[in-house]
A and B are shown apart, each in its own frame.
Chain A
Amino acid sequence: MTVYEISGQPHLAKQSLAEMDPNQLSPLTPEVISRQATINIGIIGHVAHGKSTVVKCLSGAATGRFKSEKDRNMTIKLGYANAKIFECDNDKCPRPRRFRSAGPSKEDVFPCDRPRCGGQFRLVRHVSFVDCPGQNSLMATMLNGTAVMDAALLLIAANDTCPQPQTSEHLAAISIMNLNSILVLQNKIDLVKEVQAKEQYQQIIDFLKGTNAEGAPIIQISAILKYNIEVICEYVIRKIPVPLRDFTSKPRLIVIRSFDINKPGTKVDDLKGGVAGGSIVKGILKIDQEIEVRPGIVSKDNEGRLQCCPLLSKIVSLYAEQNDLAFAVPGGLIGVGTKIDPTLCRADRLVGQVLGEVGALPEIYTKIQIIYFLLRRLVGVRTEGDKKGAKVAKLTKNEMLMVNIGSLCTGGRVLAIKDNLAKIQLTSPACVEVSEKIALSRRVNYDFRLIGWGEFRRGTVIKPQVEIPTT
C-alpha cells in the first residue's frame, strides 16, 4: 500500500494512509473531523420556519446559495452545509459562549474571543446538515434503520401553531427512527411575546410525550438574530451520542451525483477520470483503492437481452466540501475522483448506483419477489371526508409503481400477487441486498404516494459482463 499524505489545506490536520488504522477510528478522530463531517443531522421543518437561516448560522456558509423553495414542480435550491463545532479549552469560560461553530475550512484551533480568556477554541465535532426535501437520508433511515441520519433537528417557528398532541397509536412511532436524539428548535423567538412562547413550549413537550424523544431539549433561538446559536452547538456536543460506525466493513457509497470535469477539447490522453459523489454507508474509502460501481452500464445485446457491465476503476482523489482527503469515512457527502471513462459519469448518469470494493458488492437484480404490507389509507389524511377517498386499493397486475429499495429508487411493474407476496419487474436493474426494506408508492392525483412497505426476499439476478461498452 502506498503511503499517501494529504498536502492540500495545510492549516488542517494531515492524513496519512500508512498511519490510518480502521480499528482506531471513531467519528471523533481529530485527523478525520479536521477535514470531513462524521455526523449527519437532518432538519425537519417548514422552510418558512427558517431552516436555511439556521443552517447558514451554524456553518457560516457564505458559499452555497440558499434560495427559497419554490413549487415542487421546479428545481428547488437546497440547503446543505457542514459545520465544525468548537469548545473553548479554558474550564472557566462560561457556557454557552464557550461553544462556537464555523465552516469546514476553519482551522482546528483558534483563540477564544472572550476578552482575557486566554483559552483556545478546539475542534470537537464536524457535522453535516441535511436539509433536503426527499433527500434519501430520511427514506433510507426509515427503510434501513442505518445511520444515514444520526440525529434530527425539529424546527418549529414560535409564531406558528405547534403540532397537536399524539394519540397512543403514534406514541411508539418516533422510536422507529432509531434516532437517539432529536433536538427541537423553537425558532423566531424574537417575533413572539414570552407568554406565547411559553405556551408553545408546553405544547411541544406534550407532543413528544411517550415517545423516546420525550425530554428532548427544546432550544429557543432566533436564527436571524443569531440568538442562542451557541446553545445548539452545546447540545450537539452534549446530547447527540457519538454514532456507532462500521469502519471495518468493506466500503459502500451510494452515488447521488456524477460528472465529467474535463475541459472541452482535451486530448484523450489528458482526460481526467469521472467523479462520483455520494454518501458512504459503511467502511472507509482510500486513495488508490480498487473499486467497482454497480450495476454499471446497462445495455441490450442484439437479441434484446439485458446486460450490465459494472465499472472497475481506482480512486485517485477524495474530497469533502473544499477539503482533500486521503481516506473518507461515513458522514456528509464525499467526492470520489476515479479513472472511470468520464463520458460514463457525465450528467449524473451514475446516480442510484453503488460504489465499493471490487467483488464485495451485492448482486444485481432485474426482478424481485417481495413480502409486502399495504397501508389502509394514504398518509396524512385527517379529515373525515377525505378518509374514504384515501383508501389504498390492492395491487393489480401490470400496475406500475415507484419502488424504493434501501437507498435506491426505481420503477416496478407488478407481475403477480399471491397473498402478501408480490413479484415485481424492475424498470432498471438494482444492486441491492436480500432482505432490504422496501417502500411502494403509487401515482395518486399526480403524485407518488406511499401505499405500502415490504421486504426484498429473492429475485432474478443478472450476472455482470466483463467488457465495458464504448458509449
Chain B
Amino acid sequence: MTADLPRVSVQDVLNCSFPVWYPTFEKHSFKSVILKLTDDVVQYLRSDKFYLPTGANEAMDEMRRLNTESSDDEDHWSDEDADNDTTNKISFPEFEQQIKNVLEQYDAVFPKLNWSSPKDARWMISDSRLKCMNLADIFLLLKSSDFITHDICEPFKFCYDDTDNLLSTIQYVLVLRKWSALQPSKEFRCFVKNHRIIAISQRDSENYYEFIEPVADQIITNIVEFFNTHIQNKFPSGDYVVDIYRKDSNKLYIIDFNPWGPMTDSLLFDWPDILTLSLQNNDEKPEFRYVSSQNGIKPNSYTQYAVPKDIADISRERDFNKLADVLSSRVQVQNHDTDSDNETNT
C-alpha cells in the first residue's frame, strides 16, 4: 500500500523561510546576517535586464585598471571609457552599504534568499562556488540563478492553497552566511514525519565516500540525538525535511529546512519510498542511504545550468525546431564571416 504524494501548503513553505526558522535555531546553525530587501531591490531582481549596480561595476572597473598592463590595449575604442549609457544606472545605497558591512565583518559570505541559494549560477564567479567577497559576486549570482527566480517569482508554485495576492505579502530577505568551506561528504538530508526522523540520505548523492559505511551507525546516532535535543517539536510543521551538517560526532549544525513534498529532492530515496517508510509506525532507527561503492565519475547536474536553456531543451526534449534553428544559425556564421547581418534589429 502506498500513500499519495503529500500536498504542501503555503504555511509549510513559509515555515521553511529563513527569517522564520533561524531565530529559533540560531545557536545550532551557522552565523548569518539577515538583510531585508526593499521593494526596489526586489523589482531589480525580478527584472529581466541584467546590469550590475553601479557600485559593483565600479569595483570591476577598478579591478580591470589594476590588472591591465599599459601595453595591453593598443586599440582603444572611442566609446570605451565614455559612460554615455545613462539608462542603466542602478543603485541601492543603503542596501549596498549593509552588504559591505557584513563583508567587512565576515570577509566572505554565502548568499541566499528566503529559501534558495543560487547554486545553479556557480559558473558565474571564480572557483565555481558560492564564496562571495564583494558586491559584484553577490549580485551576479542573484541575477543569474533560476533557483533565486523561483524564490522571487513563484515560491508557492507547488502549494495547493496558493492564491494570487500571496506574493506581495512576502518580506524578502538576503541571507549572508559567514563563509565556511563545508565538506559535501558531511551533509545529510533528514526526512521528518510526525516530528520523527524516518529517513536519512547522503546529501552529495552522486559521489562515493569510502569512510561513511564504517561509521554509518554512528552517523545515525549522532544525527538522531542532535535532532531530538535541538529540533524535535520546535519546528512548526510536523512533517518536513532538514539538512544537517555533521562536522564531527559532537559538532552538528542545521543547514536548512525544506517542505515535506516532492519539490524537495529526495536524493537517494524516491518519495514513494519515504512515504512507505512513514507508514511503518515503529520506533526503529531511520533508514540511512548512502552511496556504497565506487561508481566512477558521474556528470555534474549543475552543468545543465551552464548552457543556454535552448541547448538544454534540445538535448532534453524533442524540440527539433530549436535544434534546427541553432544549427542553421551556425551555418550562417560559417557562411558569413564578416557579415552585414549585424544590421540594426530595430
Contact = CB atoms under 8 A, between A and B. Distances in A.
Interface stretch (B33-41, B50-58, B92-100): B50-58
A416 interface: yes
A304 B72 contact: no
A65 B273 CA distance: 14
A30 interface: no
Nearest to A295: B126
B77 A393 contact: no
30 contacts: A73-B146, A76-B304, A133-B312, A142-B311, A163-B318, A170-B327, A177-B327, A256-B297, A303-B66, A304-B63, A319-B294, A321-B295, A322-B294, A346-B181, A349-B128, A351-B303, A373-B333, A373-B336, A374-B345, A382-B321, A399-B50, A404-B307, A404-B308, A409-B123, A420-B338, A425-B60, A446-B146, A446-B149, A447-B146, A449-B309
Interface stretch (A93-101, A118-126, A230-238, A258-266): A258-266
Contacts of A417: 79
B125 A413 contact: no
Nearest to A404: B307
Contacts of A75: 265, 301
B213 to A, nearest CB: 11
A351 B300 contact: yes
Contact of A373 (B296, B303, B342): B342
Interface string B298-330: 111111111111111111111111111111111
B166 interface: no
Contacts of A378: 310
| Interface magnitude class on chain B | 35 or more
A70 B265 CA distance: 9
Interface residues of A, number: 133
Interface string B140-169: 100110110110010000000000000000
B342 A379 contact: no
Contact of A260 (B63, B125, B183, B326): B183
A interface majority secondary structure: mixed
A145 to B, nearest CB: 9
Contact of A42 (B85, B150, B315): B315
Contacts of B313: 133, 380
Contacts of B57: 398, 413
B226 to A, nearest CB: 16
Contacts of B143: 400, 443
A419 B80 contact: no
B210 A261 contact: yes
A352 B160 CA distance: 40
Interface string B58-76: 0010111011100011000
Nearest to B214: A263
Contacts of A63: 293, 295
Contacts of B127: 297-298, 349, 428
A465 B181 CA distance: 23
Contact of A44 (B80, B296, B323, B326): B323
A64 interface: yes
A18 interface: no
Contacts of A471: 181
A304 B308 CA distance: 31
A299 to B, nearest CB: 8
Contacts of B302: 348, 351
A146 interface: no
Contact of A444 (B48, B181, B305, B333): B48
Nearest to B309: A447
B331 interface: yes
Interface of B: 48-52, 57, 60, 62-64, 66-68, 72-73, 77, 79-80, 83, 85, 88, 122-129, 133, 136, 140, 143-144, 146-147, 149-150, 153, 181-186, 207, 209-211, 247-248, 262-263, 265, 268, 270, 293-334, 336, 338-339, 341-342, 344-345
Nearest to A304: B66
A427 B211 CA distance: 37
B183 A172 contact: no
Interface in A330-389: 333-335, 343, 346-352, 366-367, 373-376, 378-382
Contacts of A160: 318
A93 B83 CA distance: 75
Interface in A223-256: 256
A150 B184 CA distance: 33
A135 B332 CA distance: 24
A160 to B, nearest CB: 7
Contacts of B146: 72-73, 446-447
Contact of B324 (A170, A335, A376): A170
A221 to B, nearest CB: 16
Contacts of A411: 123-125, 140, 144
Contacts of A139: 307, 311
A209 interface: no
A182 to B, nearest CB: 11
A453 B330 contact: yes
B77 A423 contact: yes
